[in-house]
Structure 1
Amino acid sequence: MNFASTALLAFAMSTDAFAAAVGKGAALHKPRFSEALKTGLIFGVIEAITPVVGWGLGLAAAPYVAAWDHWIAFVLLCGLGLLMVRNGCTLPEGLQAKPAKHSFWVLAATGFATSIDAMAVGVGLAFLEVDIVSTAAAIGLTTMIMVTLGVMLGRVLGAIVGRRAEIAGGAILIGIGALILFEHLSGAA
């Protein structure tokens, strides 16, 4: 993967965390930068670890599926992208009570829930020649920045922008999956 693909992947992986952060920021009375940065760090670390775990799982299976690796990456990325688009298009199920403050465990659980897609992407990356450390670091750093901004902008932007961000992230994942498949089938990879 080149720099542009890595940057787009990192952005796509951070959009669902950004959407959650906008909600977290909207739930706070006046979020301080320290609260936003704490949230960003928690989400970023988790988002950086999960693709490495997925990559390790995928690497273990790589010899058995080498002939189909491009299709696996395509299906995983497109499936996750479609799921993100669908989630971004659904309306909230109801009003939830606003928490007094966000505890570490609540933030960690939310961060993990939004990083499941990064683990699945990590599985797909195992079938490609990818430097997983730099890719995971890019995903983690981008997530930290996006989540910090999301918390700070939460009260102003609200849930509508969060859903649009998730739709954009899903579309980017679908595009990356299609590009991987196209490059392999055209012999450009």
Structure 2
Amino acid sequence: MGVVELFIISVGLAMDAFAAAICKGFSMKRMTMKKARTVGAYFGIFQGGMPLIGYFLGMQFHEKITSIDHWIAFFLLGVIGINMIKESRNNSCEPTAELEGSATRENGLHFKNMLPLAIATSIDALAVGITLAFLRVNIIRAVLIIGIVTYILCTLGVKIGNTFGIKYKSKTELAGGFTLILMGIKILLEHTGIIHF
């Protein structure tokens, strides 16, 4: 898997966190770049770190399931993508509010508020890490690309949410879901020899 493919997966994977960042921006009465970068850092670190954990978990089982690793990759990316598409139908920031509590409308960037949100939006990245292990991807490069892409998108997401509200939340999750499903199909077709990209 090359840099371009990793970048595409990173963008698709980051859409969940990006949508949450839009909600964070929407809830801020006064948005600053420092706050936006803080949100971006939380999501970027966890989104980049979770695949590393998933990778080491996946490596434990790789030898036993090498013959079906592409089917597992297809299944995991497909399930994550479908879930993101389903979530895109909820065009509100209620999940964010539930995780953070009502008091965080004023200052929702405390560790105790951001930690559960960062973990919740990066669980999918854990499953992707398992997929990367099966595909023998350079995990350091993958983690850096996923983390940096997520950081940049989420920093922008805070600004977008603060400026435009939640207008783009559902569209980003929908696009992310389709991206991951398409990447899963591509991996399956390549590894079964049906199509060579």
Q: Pick the TM interval, shorter chain.
A: over 0.9
Mapped to 2, the partners of 1:129 and 1:28 lie a distance apart of 41
- Name which of structure 1's ranges 43-52 and 158-167 shifts more when overlaid on structure 2: 158-167
Cα shift readout 1:50-77 (whole Å, capped 9, x = no counterpart):
0000011111011111111000000000
The answer to whether the aligner puts 1:5 opposite 2:12 as a matched pair is: no
- Name which of structure 1's ranges 131-140 and 179-188 shifts more when overlaid on structure 2: 179-188
Give the gaps of 5 or more residues in structure 1: none
Secondary structure of 1:61's counterpart equals helix
Q: Is the 8 Å Cα contact of residues 43 and 108 (structure 1) preserved in structure 2?
A: no
CA-CA distance at 1:179 after TM superposition: 0.2
TM-score, normalization: structure 2? Answer: 0.90
TM-score, normalization: structure 1? Answer: 0.94
CA RMSD of aligned residues (A): 1.7
Partner residue of 1:110 out of 117, 123, 141? 117
Q: Is the 8 Å Cα contact of residues 76 and 128 (structure 2) preserved in structure 1?
A: yes
Mapped to 1, the partners of 2:69 and 2:175 lie a distance apart of 25
Q: What letter corresponds to residue 99 of structure 1 in structure 2?
A: R
Q: Summarize the alignment of residues 74-113 of structure 1 with structure 2, pairs less than 5 Å apart.
A: 74-92=74-92, 97=102, 99-102=105-108, 103-113=110-120
Cα shift readout 1:79-131 (whole Å, capped 9, x = no counterpart):
10000011011344869546210112211211111000000000111110200
Cα shift readout 1:33-53 (whole Å, capped 9, x = no counterpart):
001101111111111110000
Mapped to 2, the partners of 1:94 and 1:108 lie a distance apart of 17
The answer to whether the aligner puts 1:184 opposite 2:191 as a matched pair is: yes
Q: 1:93 to 1:162 in 2, by over 3 A?
A: closer
Structure 1 segments of 4 or more deviating over 3 A? Answer: 91-98
Cα shift readout 1:142-187 (whole Å, capped 9, x = no counterpart):
1111111111111223223011101100100001000000101126
Q: What letter corresponds to residue 86 of structure 1 in structure 2?
A: K
Q: Percent identity?
A: 34
- Name which of structure 1's ranges 27-36 and 102-111 shifts more when overlaid on structure 2: 102-111
2:134 corresponds in structure 1 to 127
Q: 1:82 to 1:34 in 2, by over 3 A?
A: same
Secondary structure of 1:159's counterpart equals coil
Mapped to 1, the partners of 2:67 and 2:89 lie a distance apart of 35
Secondary structure of 1:160's counterpart equals coil
In the alignment of these two chains, the number of paired residues is: 189
